[in-house]
Chains A and B, each alone.
Chain A
């Protein structure tokens, strides 16, 4: 069960999630401080650890559009957030899966800030409103990476196989 801590509209770009002026900071251990940096209140809550791990961001269509910056995925992953949206931009979705950030494609999702969501294998239940919404599987090409725990362990196994 996770609480919806942020409700966003369509076309939230990676510039929103991780503004360009912080791009010199690259390491996943350092990017979480700049998560949604221009939304100063939400950013302060994150930095003050007032947002529990497993909290949910509910967004609109095309979440993560724009730049390929991986910081946009690592900054969210650093706070153990889950993103539920009707659709994601390609590179962001790929980065999220590669880094183990949980993303849920849920075309009909209806939720408000403060609602409690139960995220299942093929649906999202809004416990507060009592409504259940079907979710879609990830692109099949990416499920193997999720199953391996991310792209680093997935590639590590292949590198070892290649060397032997």
Chain B
């Protein structure tokens, strides 16, 4: 019996020649990522050692990454104090892959990891963030865990009791129409299989559409796989993966391009014709409440958000800037732009995208997650409607249970910013 790519990764990480779906393994971890919730991980890590007489000991400080992104700069003294505790812990234990709030190396964790070359194909990545699924875009098995689970990883270097997951194969063929983007593809898939359609499973992406897609687009697909409940999304590594790692992530190490076996077993196969797709919206208040934009066109919006780990990369900003360039946002609309990292911010500045967005009326914020999850900047008023390129629209997500969030691609967001109502970017 052939193996899926995740079966192969788990077999190797568990020191076995093969694993079957449902087997319980304890894979070695190649990279363990946290953000501000490292404050809780640190607490739980110390709890593990309580009463043992042992000095708390990190299995490998070089394999731990901590990135400040959820509330930067700190929105409260409580956050600032948590961040200070984490900095002290990082210094004491010599954690190397620490990215503080800094213009030269900061940003959102799910952008910092790939662009820093921390993620390689075939590796096991865990993160105390559900969107850790993103890193499957580079052919890693990457999944979210809770803080206590991470504390055990910090102590032991392996994830305890992982059941080898089943996999859904998604095959996407054909060419996406103009202004239909990877975000539309993943929203369509989530709408089709539901918010729990891939629960406890992996989504493996295949097909010529995926082969031609940039790593940036693949990151969007894998990022939102968790919104269908998936343990992880993954794209088998290929020439584009190597290009990204060499040209954009500065990786010179040998890259393992192992993919799934031809005879691998999947729980189901879903085929999508990219050419048939239209711009999509996830409507309030669930991510699987997906409709074509045309069905909701004309709905008035108050706030447009472009950015986040889902759609804050250079190509996303290029699309948005291209649409608003030389024009002005609708009078009643405010538009917030969150580039995914400072590297992207600087590149977008150099290429003129930020000026084009600002001249149209947008406000460019520092890279961060705060607006997306309603903890910091960009909260909505009672009865307001947001149109956002982020990843969740649960009731209250943007800080106010009496507001609504629609999710869309950067093209839909930018086109709607000009009109002030939900607008199909195809015109």
Identify the A interface with B (CB < 8 A): 11, 13, 15-16, 19-21, 23-27, 38, 61-62, 65-71, 73, 87, 89-91, 94-95, 98-99, 139-142, 144-145, 150-152, 154-156, 158-160, 162-163
Contact = CB atoms under 8 A, between A and B. Distances in A.
Given A23-B70, A87-B196, A152-B148, A140 B163 contact: yes
B54 interface: yes
A15 B375 CA distance: 11
Interface stretch (B149-157, B264-272, B318-326): B149-157
Interface in B121-157: 128-130, 132, 144-149, 151-152, 155-156
Given A24-B79, A90-B229, A15 B148 contact: no
B196 A19 contact: no
B145 A94 contact: yes
A140 B161 CA distance: 9
Nearest to B370: A20
Q: Which of B44, B51, B146 has the most CB of A within 10 A?
A: B146
A159 B54 contact: yes
Contacts of A90: 199-200, 229, 231
Contact of A73 (B48, B146, B162, B200): B146
A152 B200 contact: no
B47 interface: yes
A119 B146 CA distance: 26
Q: Which of B49, B51, B132 has the most CB of A within 10 A?
A: B49
Contacts of A162: 156
Given A24-B76, A26-B82, A141 B149 contact: no
B381 interface: no
- Say whether chain B's binding surface is mostly helix, strand, loop, or mixed: loop
Contacts of B374: 15, 19-21
B399 interface: yes
A143 to B, nearest CB: 9
Given A15-B394, A90-B229, A162-B156, A70 B40 contact: yes
A155 B48 contact: yes
Given A24-B76, A152-B48, A94 B149 contact: yes
Interface in B378-410: 392, 394-397, 399, 401
A26 B286 CA distance: 26
A61 B195 CA distance: 10
Leading 7 A-B pairs by shortest Cβ distance: A95-B146, A141-B161, A20-B373, A26-B40, A62-B196, A155-B152, A70-B146
Given A13-B394, A91-B146, 20 more contacts: A15-B392, A15-B394, A15-B397, A23-B375, A68-B129, A69-B37, A70-B37, A70-B40, A70-B128, A70-B146, A91-B130, A91-B144, A95-B149, A99-B148, A144-B161, A151-B160, A152-B47, A155-B152, A158-B156, A163-B52
Contacts of A62: 195-196, 199, 229
